[in-house]
Structure 1
Amino acid sequence: MNDMNPRAVIGANNPPDPIDAICAQYEGERMEAENWLDGTPVENEGQMKAVDALRKAMREFRLGLEAGQKSATAPLYDAYRAEGARWKPSIDDAKRIESGLVSLVDGFKKKLAAEKEAAERAAKAEAARKMREAEEAARAANAADIESQRAAAEAQREAEEAQRRAAVASKDTVKGLRTVTKYQIEDHRAALHDIATNDRDAVTAFIEDYVRRNHKTRSINGVRVWKERTAY
């Protein structure tokens, strides 16, 4: 019987998972910390020292995990960045060509679209005029006068034909154009007053974020800044 090579056993030559190794290193302190975290606050100095020691151990636990994460992901991130950089010049050049072609036809497409829109407006106006004429002819037609009846029918036919032409004109659009909503602030003070009046939550969010970012660097009217000691 051939002896089995111990290294041939599945998983025998796999390195230990660094997450498991780090967690195992701090398993005792972690379990002890969970015992303390029952919602009861510290009440004496001895308890404080015990919790501070656990806090220090858990900080080292976290730092160890973060260092392991950085070590494990750095090669993957570097490979991702390298592959992205390899593709980027070709993608950027394709975008430049695409943008250039769009710019090349922009002026003509806008002119053509304006012409088609004018033609559509004219066709709709003509259809409306023909419909009014048909309605007038129908009202004026004498039921006993065959010629007036024929004239009314012809007016109705022309009105329907004009409506069909207007429908065709409305579908005759220029491809590759889109409607973009643009804006220009003409009066910042008026805009601020409008926002404060109609969207107070947005102003509040801006104020809170601004104060959070700047309260240490300058005095802000309406804001009280103070220092106090807190556990860390």
Structure 2
Amino acid sequence: MHDGPAPTGHNNPPSPIDEITAAYEAEREEAENWLDGEPVENEAQMNEVDKLRKAMRQWRLDLERGQKSAAAPLHDAWKAELARWKPTIDDAQRIEKALVATVDSFKRKLAEEKRAAERAAWEAAEKARREAEEKAKAAAASDLEAQREADAAKQAAIDAEKAAQAAKRDQVKGLRTVTQYEIEDHQAALRDIVQHDREAVTAFIEDYVRRNHKARDMAGVRVWQEKAAY
């Protein structure tokens, strides 16, 4: 009978990672002994390294299978939860987009009307400002009525500018500026990219060649075969 406290980890199940790794411990340690930066020098050494590589590959495959087995239930639960929420989220987004489309044309029209009103307000403010300056210049200091008119014109200019500022702030909510584009000449666009962003073109060429060098012959690309360890 065990009377003392349970040892640490007594109730913990063994780790599948540790179990799989333990089966290859000897080969792993031997492989690390070989990996001192020196290449093999004879066929016997090559055969020994190949045997260790085969064992390490099998260790990796066993770990990957264990990983997939352990993660599958969690991944399936994650996918199921996403699927449970998705139809309602999609419907909410569908309604949202339909509402935006319903008011889009009117908001565009209203925004244009407000822009026209703002332009008119600034034009009126500029006209009032010029009139106020002209009256101020023309009014004699001793002409009371002319001074009153000049002050009134000055106040009218101030009021007109306030009205223009208010028109500027009066924007249609729910509109945003979207930058659109259209390629009118692909060759001209390519020349521009080559001139201003050659690195992007180089990256595209390298990626394209990597993916397609086996499919067909390409000008400027040399393709050859050679043996490589695996």
1:176-219 deviations in whole A, cap 9, x for unaligned? 11111111111111111111111111111110111011001011
Q: Which residue pairs with 2:150 in the alignment?
A: 152
Q: Which residue pairs with 1:71 in the alignment?
A: 69
Question: Residue 20 of structure 1: SS of its match in structure 2?
Answer: helix
Distance 1:224 1:144 in 2: 95
Question: Residue 30 of structure 2: SS of its match in structure 1?
Answer: helix
* TM, length-normalised to structure 1: 0.92
Deviation at 1:14, TM superposition (A): 3.4
Question: Residue 41 of structure 1: SS of its match in structure 2?
Answer: coil
Q: Which residue pairs with 1:195 in the alignment?
A: 193
Distance 2:55 2:8 in 1: 35
Indicate how the Cα distance of structure 1 residues 9 and 52 shifts in structure 2: closer, same or farther if over 3 A, else same: closer
Deviation at 1:171, TM superposition (A): 1.0
Distance 1:215 1:228 in 2: 15
Indicate how the Cα distance of structure 1 residues 32 and 10 shifts in structure 2: closer, same or farther if over 3 A, else same: closer
Q: Which residue pairs with 2:116 in the alignment?
A: 118
Aligned residue runs from structure 1 range 79-90, under 5 A: 79-90=77-88
Distance 1:47 1:27 in 2: 20
- Which one-letter code corresponds to 1:225 in the other structure? V
- The yes-or-no answer on 1:216 pairing with 2:214 is yes
Q: Which residue pairs with 1:59 in the alignment?
A: 57
Deviation at 1:10, TM superposition (A): 7.4
Question: Residue 90 of structure 1: SS of its match in structure 2?
Answer: helix
179-188 or 126-135: which moved more? 126-135
- Which one-letter code corresponds to 1:125 in the other structure? E
Question: Residue 42 of structure 1: SS of its match in structure 2?
Answer: coil
* TM, length-normalised to structure 2: 0.93
Q: 1:131 aligns with which of 129, 132, 149?
A: 129
Distance 1:167 1:207 in 2: 53
Distance 1:156 1:231 in 2: 89
Identity of aligned residues (%): 65
Distance 1:80 1:33 in 2: 38
Deviation at 1:146, TM superposition (A): 2.4
Aligned residue runs from structure 1 range 99-118, under 5 A: 99-118=97-116
1:115-136 deviations in whole A, cap 9, x for unaligned? 1111111111111221122222
Aligned residues: 229
1:102-145 deviations in whole A, cap 9, x for unaligned? 11111111111111111111111111221122222223332232
1:23-51 deviations in whole A, cap 9, x for unaligned? 11112222222222222222222221221
> Cα RMSD over matched residues?
1.8
Distance 1:198 1:44 in 2: 53
Distance 1:93 1:74 in 2: 29
